[in-house]
Every structure is written in C-alpha cells, then in structure tokens.
Amino acid sequence: MSSTLLGSTLLDCVRRFADAHADGSGVARTPIPGLYAMRATAPSQMQYAISKPLVAMVLQGSKRVIMGSTTFDFGAGDSLLISADVPNVSQITRATIGAPYYSLVLDIDPAVTQSLVMEIGVANAEAGAPVRVDATEAEVADTALRLMRLLDRPSSIPVLKDQLVRELHYWLLTGRHGAGIRSLGFTDSHANRIARAVALIRNAYAETLPVERLADAAGMSLSSFHQHFRAVTSLSPLQFQKQLRLLEARRMMISEGAAISNAAYSVGYESIPQFTREYGRLFGSSPAKDIRESVGKVQVAA
C-alpha cells in the first residue's frame, strides 16, 4: 500500500470512494455488505424512512434526524446510532459543492453482535431510546479507516473484511454506543422479539396481517406485544405497517413514475381517497403535488 494511502484519513477515503461511486441519491455502496458511503453537495429535502439498525459516522457537513418529538442535530465527528426499526425524518442541513456532506454508514449485524455478546459476557439490558448521537470514538474511526482502505486492494476484501467488520462491531459494543446495541446481542430480548415481527411486516406490508400472527412471531401475548412493539418502534403495529405502505408508494411514484392509483393498490390500499388522506398526513403534501415537484426537479437538473 502506498504511503499516500497510509496517510489518508477516514474522510479522505470516504470522499474518494463516494465521489467516484455515489448514485443519483448520493449513496455509494461498497463491495463490503452493509457498508456504504453517503455524499451530498447541497442541503436535502426531508427524507422519510423506517430505518434498520445502523451507525452513521458523519465526516463532513451536518445532518438533522427527527424521531417523534425529539430532534438530533449533529455533524463531523459525531455518530448516529439507530438501534431498532424506527420511523424517522432526516435532512442534510450543511453541504455545498465545495464542502460536500460525507458520512460512512454500517448496518448493525445482529449475528455479529450476538456472537460478541456471548464472547464478552456482557449483561442483558433493554436498549432504551432507539436513536442517539454520540461523539465518534477513536477506535471506531480507526477500524472504519482500515476497512475503507481494503477497497483500494480488492483482493484483500474476501480475506480481511469479516474480521474488520467484527472488530468495528466490538468497538461499538464496548464504547459509548454499547448500551444502545447490547440488547440486539440477546436473541430473547424484547428488541429482538419485536424485530421478528417487524421483519414479517416488512416482507408482507401489502397484506392484512392479524396482530395475533405478529404476536406469535414475537413469542409474546397480545398485551405484552402491543406494549413492547410501541416501546421499541414508537408506533402501534398498524401504524408501522401503514407508514411502510406509504413510504413504498411514495418511492414507486417518485422513483419509478408509477401512477397514484397503481402505487396505492400495489401497497394494499383499496380506496384512493383514503390513500390520499393518509399520504397527506404523513408527508404534509398530496401525492399529485409530490409527483409534480419531483418531475420539476428532474427537468431543472436536465
């Protein structure tokens, strides 16, 4: 490896990769599963999502994430942890062509976390708030840098990626973010039980899913399931499924050009007026207006 690469910072490595590989939405997926770089050259519109567990290390620029009534503003040197499948609104708040927003994102792997928890022998604890922001620790940044350097030596990736991904999980688990992801390491924790129900909803969001089926997937009684589902996700199961449907319909209309009726029926709605009402409540705009605005942005960019 050249002395230039050895002297690179994590920002240098992420910048180089993201500048070369980012797609139209600013995402640059690496050959390492679950690891991707983000890039933006201007502040973004609000983005609605139900995120899976992840950690995002901001390296340049700043971002805002809103979950429920809590707002997190953070920037370079901070890491965002999302430890459960939760709905959130995010927005890049500082980015320019001269100083783009860059971050490195790692999906939290439950299998790796569970293996480490067993090996370390930490005590089980409920995760608490599913979204939090802390300063990025030196060990986390150093391991992430060594992981990114593998991308310049593709032949090294199959040999070394697993141990570095595991090391990165280790530093996250034993550092400031440890309390947030520890419960993911216990297969019988409330967070992991609810995750099984969430996976069922994600895979069958367009279907009618009896709550009894979801509670059975989580291995809980109905009353316990409702209580813990809301504690983990901040929503009821029905609200969670509804948001998934609306998010997917929005993606289909804006990214794929689907007609409003086609998108609504595809995600499980039987009434277009109901779809339009619920869409407006979540996104603050009608489906037709969102489509017009997205078409306008494409035309301006062209």
pLDDT value of residue 265: 96
Superfamily of structural domain 3-185: Jelly Rolls (2.60.120.10)
Q: What confidence score (pLDDT) does residue 124 get?
A: 57
Between these two residues, 31 and 282, which has the higher pLDDT value?
31
Cα distances from 164 to residues 51, 70, 78, 146, in angstroms, run 24, 33, 21, 8
pLDDT value at position 188? 65
pLDDT band, very low/low/confident/very high, at 253 (cuts 50, 70, 90): very high
Mean pLDDT, rounded, for 3-9: 55
- Mean pLDDT score of the chain: 88
* SS3 state of residue 236: coil
Q: Do residues 55 and 171 make contact, with C-beta atoms less than 8 angstroms apart?
A: no
- Above 50 in pLDDT, residue 289? yes
Q: Of 155 and 290, which is predicted with more confidence?
A: 155
Where residue 283 falls among pLDDT bands split at 50, 70, 90?
confident
Residue 6 pLDDT exceeds 60: no
CA-nearest of 223, 203, 256, 207 to 85 is: 203
Q: State what percent of residues in the chain have pLDDT above 70.
A: 91
Higher pLDDT, 197 or 129: 197
- pLDDT tops 60 at residue 298: no
Type of residue numbered 6 = L
pLDDT beyond 50 at 141: yes
How far is Cα 102 from Cα 60, in angstroms, rounded to an integer? Answer: 5
Q: In the chain, what are the domain boundaries?
A: 3-185, 190-235, 240-301
CATH class of 240-301: mainly alpha
Q: Is residue 256 scored above 80 in pLDDT? A: yes
Distances (CA, A) of 31 to 37, 62, 145, 199, 214: 11, 26, 15, 25, 34
Sheet containing strand 131-135, strands side by side: 27-29, 35-40, 101-107, 54-60, 78-82, 131-135
CA distances from 92 to 56, 63, 254 (A): 13, 4, 20
pLDDT attached to residue 295: 65
**What are the strands of the beta sheet with 47-51, ordered from one edge?**
47-51, 86-94, 62-67, 70-75
Nearest to 233 by CA among 193, 271, 273: 193
The pLDDT, as a whole number, for residue 234 is 82
